[in-house]
Amino acid sequence: MVMDLLLLSNSTVFGLRPLEHALHAVHAFLGNVRLVHFVPYALANHDDYTARVEELLAPLGITIKGVHANASPRQAVEEARVLYVGGGNSFRLLNAFQQHDLLDTVRRRVTAGDLRYMGASAGSNMACPSLRTTNDMPIVQPRSFEAFGLIPFQINPHYLDPDEKSTHMGETRARRIEEFLEENDVPVLGMREGSWLRRHGSELRLEGIAGARLFSRNADPQEIVPGTDLSWLLGITARFDQPA
């Protein structure tokens, strides 16, 4: 049994239906599994979110079961073979995982290889050691920023390259990541919309219809194209709160 992850930068690409760009990857990831347990906690309306995801995956013959509908969400996670954690607000999502005491359960089962993990946007953020590189506004206050740590580096979903013609005076995404690296010695993969990471055991690849930018301390950003083997990133050690 090996760790099995599919981490989507986003679920919706402009001009396509939600998940349409990645349905083939989702189908391959699920294999013969036809029941997926869904975590809708990143949005406020859990029932509506779950119903929309079920509609999207119906063409694959997938049945969706929202963990929120179980009297014990932890029991639902213990019974699941595949856990899909949807996007929305990362802070609300992490706060709900903490309130339902699900962090250790998910981490244990995924790490052991008996629970496959699929995330999109905020759900992919949760696979990192910390939420520190999310784009979201902290609309709630979790007890800590510690996430699942299913990968030892950080990602930044929905990554946007700096627009040289823009008159916006706020920080670019690249600048915010550079500020993170001033305080933390942890690589950050800026994943453009349409990209995803596929981890199977000790193998990790960037896939999708868009590339990514890899930011590391004391190094120029590195362009990563779809199909690139990033397995070496699984061997790094994250060092948080280590000012340069």
For residue 159, give both structure tokens.
């990554």
User: CATH for 4-235?
Assistant: 3.40.50.880
**pLDDT reported for residue 57:** 92
Is 11 labeled as catalytic in the residue annotation? Answer: no
**Active-site residue, 48 included:** no
Angle, in degrees to the nearest 10, between helices 103-112 and 90-99: 90
> pLDDT at position 132, please?
97
* Residue 68 bears catalytic tag: no
Domain boundaries, the chain: 4-235
Catalytic residue among 27, 68, 158, 200: 158
* CB-based contact 129:149 (threshold 8 Å): yes
Which residue of the set 37, 136, 185, 195 is catalytic?
A: 136
Q: What angle do CA 241, 192, 124 make, to 5 degrees?
A: 55
In angstroms, the CA 19 to CA 136 distance is 21
| Catalytic residue, candidates 9, 11, 90, 121 | 121
| Residue from 81, 148, 88, 164 nearest 121 by CA | 88
Which residues of the chain have a pLDDT value below 70?
A: 169
In the prediction, which pLDDT does 13 show? 86
